[in-house]
Amino acid sequence: MKRMCLAALVLVSAACAADFQAGVARVNITPPMPFWLSGYASRTNPATVVRHELFAKALALADDRGGKVVIVTADLIGFPRAMSDDIAARVAKQYGLGRPQLLLNTSHTHYGPVLRSGLSIMFNFDGAELDRVDVYTRKLADDIVTLVGAALADLAPAQFACGHGSAGFAMNRREKATAGVKLGENPTGPMDHDVPVLRITAPDGKLRAVLFAYACHGTTMSGKFNEVDSDFGGYAQRALEQAHPGATALYMALCSGDQNPKPRGEYAHIEQHGRELAGAVERVLTGELKTVRPPLRTAHNVTRLDFAEHTRAQFEQEAVGAGLAKPDKYRQRRANLMLAAYDQGQPVRQLPFQVQALRFGADLTLLALSGEVVVDYALRAKREFPGENLTVAGYCNDVSSYLPSLRVLREGGYEPDTSMIYYGQPGPFSEKVEEQVFAAIHQVLKQVGAKE
Interval 215-247: pLDDT, tens: 999 999 999 999 999 999 999 999 999 999 999
Cβ(108)–Cβ(253) below 8 Å: yes
| pLDDT for residue 408 | 98
Same domain, 334 and 286: no
Q: State how far the alpha carbon of 34 is from the alpha carbons of 67, 119, 244, in Å.
A: 43, 19, 33
- Residues of the chain short of pLDDT 50, as ranges, are 1-17
DSSP tag of 39: S
**Residue-range definition of the domain harbouring residue 334:** 311-346
Same structural domain, 67 and 164: yes
Is the full-model pTM beyond 0.75? yes
Flag whether 395 is in a domain: no
Structurally, the chain folds into a number of domains equal to 2
pLDDT score for 179: 86
**321 located within any domain:** yes
The predicted pLDDT at position 117 comes to: 79
132 assigned to some structural domain: yes
Beta strands at 350-360 and 296-306: parallel, antiparallel or unpaired: antiparallel
Q: Is 28 helix (H, G, I), strand (E, B) or coil?
A: strand
> Has residue 281 been placed in a domain?
yes
Mark whether 215 and 74 lie in a shared domain: yes
Residues 288 and 336 in one domain: no
Do residues 283 and 322 share a domain?
Answer: no
Residues 244 and 316 in one domain: no
What angle separates helix 376-384 from helix 433-447, to the nearest 10 degrees? 50
Domain check: are 142 and 69 in the same one?
A: yes
Q: Is the backbone of residue 411 left (phi > 0), alpha (psi -120 to 50) or beta?
A: alpha
Q: Identify whether the C-beta of residue 37 lies closer than 8 Å to the C-beta of residue 171.
A: no
Q: Is residue 358 part of a domain?
A: no
Asked if residue 220 lies in contact with residue 211, where contact means CB atoms within 8 angstroms, the answer is no
How far CA 46 is from CA of 40, 50, 384, in Å, comes to 12, 12, 45
Say yes or no: 153 and 233 in one domain. Answer: yes
Question: Quick one: 153 exposed, middle or buried, by C-beta within 10 A (0-12, 13-18, 19+)?
Answer: exposed
317 shares a domain with 240 = no
| Contact residues for 137 (Cβ-Cβ < 8 A; gap 6+) | 83, 115, 116
Whether the link from the prior residue into 261 is cis, omega within 30° of 0, is no
- At 296 the three-state DSSP class reads strand
Please choose, from the candidates 30, 241, 57, the residue with its C-alpha nearest in 3D space to the C-alpha of residue 148.
Answer: 57
Who contacts 136 (Cβ-Cβ below 8 Å, separation ≥6)?
Answer: 31, 32, 35, 113, 115
- pLDDT of 18 reads 55
**Residues 29 and 122 placed together within one structural domain of the fold:** yes
**Distance (Å, whole) CA 353 – CA 337:** 20
Same domain, 190 and 319: no
Give the up-direction half-sphere exposure of residue 226: CA atoms within 13 A in the CB hemisphere. 14
In a domain, 430, yes or no: no
State the Cα torsion 129-135-137-140 to the nearest 10°: -140
Residue 144: inside a domain, yes or no? yes
* 246 shares its domain with 153: yes
Residue 449 in any domain: the answer is no
- What residues does 390 pair with on adjacent strands? 365
Determine the pLDDT at residue 326. Answer: 84
β-partners of residue 364 are 360
